[in-house]
A and B are shown apart, each in its own frame.
Chain A
Amino acid sequence: DVKVTQSSRYLVKRTGEKVFLECVQDMDHENMFWYRQDPGLGLRLIYFSYDVKMKEKGDIPEGYSVSREKKERFSLILESASTNQTSMYLCASRSWGVMNTEAFFGQGTRLTVV
């Protein structure tokens, strides 16, 4: 059974903390994505990676960074968490360069910054 696994389902962090959200996929996919989802705004792309150590900014990269040291793992980093980063975060993976293949999503991490 194919899988995208996010390390935490729920997370509560304090303002100013450095936060790591981890995502692992077992499908040998080249592309991995991080989204945040807020009511009324849908899914917005933060960053995506098309290979190890390669990344590209999405629509809302401010306040975030990413790391991809291994093909199966893609980390989202909040350098100094703020309350406006309270949101649902979703990770996805997909094969590279083949437009007719599906993406697979994790279950999401609901992050609350207090």
Chain B
Amino acid sequence: DAKTTQPNSMESNEEEPVHLPCNHSTISGTDYIHWYRQLPSQGPEYVIHGLTSNVNNRMASLAIAEDRKSSTLILHRATLRDAAVYYCMGFGTDKLIFGTGTRLQVFP
């Protein structure tokens, strides 16, 4: 499974876009890139995943670099409810290995 590197924390103001980076330079060609987030006092929840192409869903967008060694989770308009720890993972086996994630603070 790919080792991932994320900034420890990031800040944003409400209604602004947020770009959360993840480096996964050891990723293999068949590893999917997954993002999860953990709201305070809750278990992690799925956000989005992709393999090679950029992906959009109702929660976020995922931009994957052409060499697949990094990706960026994009929240188009941050809300106070988006304050959470965001984890990226690259995996090609059944194990789910989390890094330490990025704590996102959103200010009104």
The prevalent SS among residues of A at the interface is strand
A107-B43 contact, Cβ under 8 Å, with A41-B100, A102-B34, A102-B49: yes
A42-B94 contact, Cβ under 8 Å, with A99-B31, A103-B46: no
Interface residues on B, range: 20 to 34
Interchain CB contact (< 8 A) of B42 among A31, A96, A103, A108: A108
What residue in chain A is nearest B97 (Cβ atoms)? A45
Which residues of A are in contact with B by a Cβ distance under 8 Å? 4, 31, 33, 35, 40-45, 48, 50, 56, 58-59, 90, 92, 94, 96-97, 99-100, 102-108
Which residues of B are in contact with A by a Cβ distance under 8 Å? 30-32, 34, 36, 42-46, 49, 51, 87, 91-92, 94-101
